[in-house]
Structure 1
């Protein structure tokens, strides 16, 4: 299932249910039929998501360092990281914060 996030501050974004559930979980929210990230809590939500992205990047660097001397065949490939997956929502959140707007889903 696809989830659409809407805000008057930014273009609509659509993501898979699993990714939306994960990102909202990082924000302390649950993916319900409908939901909102209120503008008055947007700064805290942005900080939480930025922290999760930074932590994921640190983990990736640690992982790469661990396998630095290994042959290419034995190094696991991580693929797309949290920074890339979270960017559309994080960008929307920043615009919404600047304009004191809410972000809605399931509407």
Structure 2
């Protein structure tokens, strides 16, 4: 199932429900049927999501160093994918914060 985030300051952001739940969980929200990140919450929410992305990147770097196998051609795209898929929502959150707008879903 898909979740569509809406904000008048930006184009819609559409993502899979499980990714949306993961990202919203990082900022203390739940997907639910409907939801909102109010413009008052956005400053803290942006900081929390950015911090979580940085911490995830550090953790991945440490794990990669610990488990590095020379000439290992396995793909780590799945690890990188969550971080890259977070950027559209993070960009929406930043712009909504700049424009004092809310982000809604399930409407």
Q: Which residue of 2 aligns with 1:19?
A: 19
| CA–CA separation in structure 1 for the residues paired with 2:66 and 2:21 | 30
**Which sections of structure 2, spanning at least 5 residues, go unmatched?**
none
Runs of 4+ displaced beyond 2 Å: 67-71, 80-83
Does 1:45 find its partner at 2:54? Answer: no
Q: Which residue of 2 aligns with 1:79?
A: 77
Q: In the TM superposition, what whole-angstrom CA distance separates every residue of 1:34-87 from its partner, at most 9, and x where no partner exists? A: 0000000100000000011000110111112113354416xx643142320210
| CA–CA separation in structure 1 for the residues paired with 2:51 and 2:14 | 23
TM-score normalized by the length of structure 2: 0.90
Q: In the TM superposition, what whole-angstrom CA distance separates every residue of 1:6-38 from its partner, at most 9, and x where no partner exists? A: 001110010001001111111101111100000
Q: Which residue of 2 aligns with 1:105?
A: 105
Secondary structure at the aligned position of 2:31 is classed as coil
* CA RMSD of superposed structures (Å): 1.4
**Which sections of structure 1, spanning at least 5 residues, go unmatched?**
none
| CA–CA separation in structure 2 for the residues paired with 1:95 and 1:52 | 19
Secondary structure at the aligned position of 1:33 is classed as coil
The farther-off stretch of 82-91 and 49-58 is 82-91
